[in-house]
Amino acid sequence: MSPVRSETEPRSSRPVSKTETPLKRKAVTLALFLILAASALNALFGDRGLLVLLKVRQEIESLDREIAMLRVENQRILEEIHSLKTSPLAVERLARENLGLVKPGEVVLLIMETEVGPTTGVDRRK
């Protein structure tokens, strides 16, 4: 008859020391911790991490504001174009402002601004 092994005997041919099992557990724990730490760092600082996501969201908000401003500017320009196409007064205003044109018989007055010194009261022309 074959001898019966007790449950306390090791199954391998080499005896297992008491310190070997805690070392394995520590190694596995350390490996898991390192994997989790690397994953957390990648989630924060990686190519698709949280910091990049926040930066991209700020850029999107900035571009949305710029788009809104450009739409308002486009609408203003379209209204000015429509006004110039339909109103002779708008064309006249633009000619006077940008080209300095005057109607026959009008007198143009050029007003020069002067700067008065604070203590002397002397005019200093620009």
Confidence (pLDDT) at 13: 60
Q: Which residues lie across from 1 on neighbouring strands?
A: none
Residue found under tokens 């990049």? 52
Confidence (pLDDT) at 119: 64
Low-confidence ranges of the chain (pLDDT < 50): none
Confidence (pLDDT) at 4: 57
When computed from its CA atoms, the radius of gyration of the chain, rounded to whole angstroms, is 42
Confidence (pLDDT) at 1: 53
Buried b (16+ CB within 10 A) or exposed e, 97-126: eeeeeeeeeeeeeeeeeeeeeeeeeeeeee
Confidence (pLDDT) at 3: 56
